[in-house]
Structure 1
Amino acid sequence: MMPRHITIDAGNPYALAQFWSGVTGWAIAAGDVPGDDEVLVPAPAPIPGLLFIRVPEEKSVKNRVHLDWSPTERTRDAEVDRVLALGGTIHEDHRAPDGRGWVTMKDPEGNEFCIERSEAERTN
């Protein structure tokens, strides 16, 4: 068995999918439009896609599960700056003076995720 989608509750599924489409570089599924109750951001196989589902309540507590992202084309710090420009915010900064560590961020609806060092940064 393998995961097909990672499902994320959202107040505005299309807007949140737009943010994550910008973060990942994956396009929103053809046919999904603003106002839809379910919006999919398909990922390249075998990675599970991101599925955003409308819920009536706002996020109120810390996520019990979150995604850790590792940049493939940039450094961790460059990726943090790029995600900030897309509308993310820094929640907790765990970067260490020696270059190790990660940054816990929030998407526009407050869902936490982490950006770790890239593979190149981890092997140097």
Structure 2
Amino acid sequence: MTSSVRTVTFDTHDPYTLATFWAEVLGGKLADDDFPGDPAATVTTDSMTLLFWQNPDTKSVKNRVHLDLEPDGSRDEEVERLLNLGAIVYDDRTTPDKLEPGAPLGAGFVVMLDPEGNEFCVLRSAAERAATS
């Protein structure tokens, strides 16, 4: 016997607002019955379901589990888009590759925080990785 992941769950002060942020990030859809003030909200994408569950506790330590995002465009363009949605850069762990001038972006990733402080990472796209392999 095995198990499969049904949802990835986030504790949050404001389920609807945080779910709206992540629906924009992932190109997902909020459930039709989710509204501001509800104790839970769900975002569904083609590949996963995220559940946002109201919890009054304040986040006080680093997440033990986080999402790694692989954009379909460049990593830097995705970071900029996410900043415009309300995320912030927590730690830029990008490194320059030893390539010719004008070559693709450097290796590494950017650690970001969503509007409630949950960490997630933005990786290079598959095309960016292929260009430097």
TM-score with structure 2 length normalisation? 0.89
The residue that corresponds to 1:89 in the other structure is 88
Structure 2 counterparts to residues 106-121 of structure 1, below 5 A: 106-121=113-128
Is 2:95–2:107's contact at 8 Å kept on the other side of the alignment?
A: yes
Give me the CA root mean square deviation: 0.7
Structure with larger Rg? 2
When you count strand as a share of all residues, which structure comes out higher? Answer: 2
Q: CA deviation at 1:69?
A: 0.7
Gaps of 5+ in 1: none
The residue that corresponds to 2:100 in the other structure is none
Q: CA deviation at 1:90?
A: 0.3
Q: CA deviation at 1:43?
A: 1.7
SS at match of 1:101: strand
Deviation digits for residues 26-70 of structure 1, max 9, x if unmatched? 1111110000111000121xx221100000111111101111110
Is 2:13–2:56's contact at 8 Å kept on the other side of the alignment?
A: yes
Is 2:111–2:122's contact at 8 Å kept on the other side of the alignment?
A: yes
The residue that corresponds to 2:33 in the other structure is 31
- Identity value in percent: 50
1:102 to 96, 105, 109: 109
How many residues get paired? 121
Letter in 2 for 1:95: T
Gaps of 5+ in 2: 98-105
Deviation digits for residues 80-109 of structure 1, max 9, x if unmatched? 000000000000001112211100000000
Q: Distance in 2 between matches of 1:48 and 1:84?
A: 23
SS at match of 2:108: coil
Is 2:27–2:45's contact at 8 Å kept on the other side of the alignment?
A: no
